[in-house]
Amino acid sequence: MDDLRELYQEVILDHNQNPQNFGQLEPATHSGDGYNPLCGDRLSLTLHLDNDTVTDLRFSGSGCAISKASASIMTTVVKGKSVAQVESLFDAFHTLVTTGNPGDGELGKLAVMAGVHKYPARVKCATLAWHTLKNCISGSEKMAKTE
């Protein structure tokens, strides 16, 4: 239980109860869904990409505290970032939740998710929002080419 309490830090519980950027952007330039069958987490993302910069984004869905908090924190961190910065953050975040290594500080608020690395089954919960974001960005680029 102590370990679990460590994982479900106050920040995570807070984001789970009061998620940031929750809802749907209307209209959005990009959208996508994510699903983590291991836990049953479902996530929908809508975002505005302007000149390769994520100017705004929202998420909705249902899932465990980790998936929801991770999505909530992610939306606050990637807003205003370029696609390249998002990809770099994703790599750093993936390292954090699989090894616990917070890197050089680029992660900021995301560092609260470090405890996840002790729970391999939870890694997919924590990274669901990021995978969805990545698919979202690349998926709509393909769609945009058909226009």
Q: What residues line the site for Zn ion (CB under 5 A)?
A: 39, 41, 64, 67, 125
- Report in angstroms how near the CB of residue 120 gets to Zn ion at its nearest: 13
Separation between Cα atoms, residue 58 and residue 7, nearest integer Å: 25
**Residue 46 or 67 with smaller CB distance to Zn ion:** 67
- Report in angstroms how near the CB of residue 50 gets to Zn ion at its nearest: 31
Q: Over the Cα atoms of the chain, what is R_g?
A: 15
Please name which of 109, 102, 116, 101 lies closest in space to residue 73, comparing C-alpha atoms: 109
Spatial CB neighbours of 3, under 8 Å, sequence gap ≥ 6? 118
**Residue 58 or 122 with smaller CB distance to Zn ion:** 122
- Report in angstroms how near the CB of residue 14 gets to Zn ion at its nearest: 17
- Report in angstroms how near the CB of residue 121 gets to Zn ion at its nearest: 8
Question: What backbone phi and psi angles, to 5 degrees, belong to 23?
Answer: 135, -150
**Residue 41 or 107 with smaller CB distance to Zn ion:** 41
Please name which of 90, 114, 125 lies closest in space to residue 7, comparing C-alpha atoms: 114
Please name which of 63, 27, 57 lies closest in space to residue 45, comparing C-alpha atoms: 57
**Residue 30 or 124 with smaller CB distance to Zn ion:** 124
- Report in angstroms how near the CB of residue 132 gets to Zn ion at its nearest: 13
**Residue 92 or 125 with smaller CB distance to Zn ion:** 125
End-to-end CA, the chain = 53
